[in-house]
Amino acid sequence: MTNNKYIATPTRTKEILNKYKFTFKKSLGQNFLIDSNVLENIIAHAGIDKQAGAIEIGPGIGALTEQLAIHADKVVAFEIDQRLIPVLQDTLGDYDNVQIVNEDILEADVAETIAANFPKTQPVHVVANLPYYITTPILLKLLHEDLPVTSLTVMIQKEVAERMAAGPNNKSYGSLTIAVQYYTEAAVVMDVPKQVFMPQPNVDSSILRLVKRDKPPVEVDNEKYFFALIKASFAQRRKTLRNNLTSYFKGTIDKDAINQTLESVGIDGTRRGESLDMQEFATLANAFYRLG
Ligand SMILES: C[S@@+](CC[C@H](N)C(=O)[O-])C[C@H]1O[C@@H](n2cnc3c(N)ncnc32)[C@H](O)[C@@H]1O
């Protein structure tokens, strides 16, 4: 992959950018990968082989897309920036297993795209160097929609990757952690320096691997209610669980009922949200939900 014919080298990237007089849009999180070793690592961790399909978000000029085209059966890539479509048609012209969709991933019907492009029995992996300004909405959309994908391997901001893979009592642990870990097993597989991007971002990056679970690790009566209660429990991190819940349930459940419910499930209301594990949140959410 060190061969200069590939897109992910500084020289080839500059050539392509010059040819199209392409100027980066910071507002679209455009930081392109120019390091073939990092790409090799992404592909190695992503579980991609010729039996698998790949969904990419934000192909840019095609550095990762090209490697996915080489290693996977088929690639479908969503790119919002119309200026990149002719560039991609050029850089990926040699590959007949790539489809570019010029759409905003947050608006796209990803389930329909998967159904239209990949056989039902084929494993499909999401692989992306994500636009960092919308990392959380993209991942939560893909997870909440419960798409038929086997895994997600994504380059994201290091702090966000740590948050998604954290455990209780860690300063990074929060409602995002639980949302991600409810659907997937999360692990940070590699930290990545700024120097591998053009232009260099202001933040450090990590590759995060999320493997979809067959079923959630806890039983929840109502998922929407569960996630809303978790969010409320972290609303003010320094506040006790009881105080956060009192603000959240104001006007619907009174203080006495809140105390009784906490007591009934054996959770001390003076604890902070960050000390509860997912099972405790599930028990708590189910108990409040059953109050009706
Ligand atoms: C960090 S760059 C990655 C580019 C390329 N994959 C690489 O690694 O060199 C993020 C890409 O996402 C695209 N993008 C930004 N917002 C998007 C959105 N809402 N939907 C789809 N693509 C988006 C940008 O135009 C850009 O090409």
Mean per-residue pLDDT, 162-190:
95
What is the tens place of the pLDDT at every residue in 46-65?
Answer: 999 999 999 999 999 999 99
Assign 1 a pLDDT band (cuts: 50, 70, 90). Answer: very low
30 lines ligand 1 (CB under 6 A): yes
Distance 100 CA to ligand 1 centre (A): 12
First to last CA, the chain: 59
181 lines ligand 1 (CB under 6 A): no
Q: Tell me, what's the pLDDT at 292?
A: 82
81 lines ligand 1 (CB under 6 A): yes
Assign 5 a pLDDT band (cuts: 50, 70, 90). Answer: confident
- In this structure, are residues 40 and 46 in contact, taking their beta carbons and an 8 Å threshold? no
Of 16, 27, 28, the residue with max ligand 1 atoms within 8 A of its CB, to mutate for a pocket test, comes to: 28
Q: Tokens at residue 123, please?
A: 């494993």
73 lines ligand 1 (CB under 6 A): no
What is the tens place of the pLDDT at every residue in 238-274?
Answer: 999 999 999 999 999 999 999 999 999 999 999 999 9
What DSSP state is assigned to residue 27? G
What is the tens place of the pLDDT at every residue in 17-43?
Answer: 999 999 999 999 999 999 999 999 999
Mean per-residue pLDDT, 227-234:
97
Q: Tell me, what's the pLDDT at 4?
A: 55
Of 9, 26, 30, 68, the residue with max ligand 1 atoms within 8 A of its CB, to mutate for a pocket test, comes to: 30
53 lines ligand 1 (CB under 6 A): no
62 lines ligand 1 (CB under 6 A): no
Q: Tell me, what's the pLDDT at 217?
A: 97
Secondary structure (3-state) at 159: helix
Closest by CA position to 46, among listed 132, 124, 134, 158: 124
Mean per-residue pLDDT, 128-138:
97
User: Does the pLDDT value for residue 199 go beyond 60?
Assistant: yes
Assign 105 a pLDDT band (cuts: 50, 70, 90). Answer: very high
Distance 58 CA to ligand 1 centre (A): 3
Domains and CATH numbers, the chain: 10-212 (3.40.50.150), 223-291 (1.10.8.100)
Q: Tell me, what's the pLDDT at 37?
A: 95
Distance 56 CA to ligand 1 centre (A): 9
138 lines ligand 1 (CB under 6 A): no
Would you tell me how many other CB atoms lie within 10 Å of the CB of residue 285? Answer: 23
Mean per-residue pLDDT, 199-212:
97
85 lines ligand 1 (CB under 6 A): no
Three state DSSP letters for 107-158:
CCCHHHHHHHHCCCCCCEEEEEECCHHHHHHHHHHHHHCCCCCCEEEEEEEH
Could you tell me what percent of the chain has a pLDDT over 70? 99
As a whole number of angstroms, the distance between CA 220 and CA 169 comes to 22
Positive or negative CA dihedral for 67, 205, 188, 58? negative
Report strand pairing: 53-57 vs 124-129. parallel
The per-residue pLDDT of the chain, averaged, comes to 96
Annotated binding site for S-adenosyl-L-methionine: 31, 33, 58, 79, 104, 129
Ligand 1 atom with minimal separation from the 59 CA: 6
